[in-house]
Structure 1
Amino acid sequence: MQDVHELIQALKASSALRRKKAAQELGRSGQRQALKPLLEALKDPDASVRDNAAFALGELGFAEAAPHLLELLQDPDEWVRKSAAKALGMLRAAEAVEALIGALRQDASYIVRKSAARSLGQIGGPRAEAALREALQDESLIVQEHAREALKALKA
């Protein structure tokens, strides 16, 4: 792994691929100093950078990222929304339950809905459980399966 300071600088590179890889590595670093630069990367013009920065924030594990990830549930790119939903589950962000329920019920993309289901299973609570039961009737079999697995996780 590169030095954290080098990775933070790489988030400003002209190459989107380089910025994306830097975000991935920063997520694995576990370093608090990576938090602010990754939050800034959520505003990157390239969707793949925003996607990787969102997931990296989940890996990093600092709860203060949750409000920023909540905003990303409205991103125009489905992969960014998926990673934001996944990261919120990784953070066990209870404040995200209502937004994740909204994504599970209304997002046009099944990849976002399945990530929202998984995250609701990680966070838990009665509202999450009720929404997951509803999702057993989702039009996508993949979403149904993720909802089923999330419900099992809640009972474990």
Structure 2
Amino acid sequence: MQIDKDAAVYVISVAAELAGMHPQTLRQYDRLGLVVPQRTAGRGRRYSAADISRLQLIQRLSQEEGINLAGIKRILELQREVETLGAHTRTLAQRLEKVMRSGGGRVFAAGAAGDVVSIVHGTRPELRIAGALAPGATARAGGRRSGELTLYRRRSG
């Protein structure tokens, strides 16, 4: 049986020993909101393996990197935000993949005049932008004219 990393199973003395800290330090971090353990019905603190890892990170940032507690708190907030945004991105990617597999959804592109046009899913019109290259640049590969940039070229054959 494996214990979930978020399961609050460690009392403060065990958590402090595992993290290599004094229990009073853990109480201070709780007051500051750096590591907020779960509480029992009697208000006792219970730490999880994830909390222990966070305590070790705080200790490393403080002692080895010389970062103050306010800086560490901001780092932890940003880390949580990155994790949240990553989860949101994965959800959106799954939804997009589902839509693309079903063949549904509409595809839009920028028209030659800068307007938005709808195109058939799976096709890409050849779009050339005159003057997109730097002045004096020559692009002759594939029959392109000087000063012209091809964003998409349909394969021949």
Query: What's the TM-score once normalised by structure 1's chain length?
Result: 0.21
The structure with more radius of gyration: 2
TM-score of the pair, normalised by structure 2: 0.21
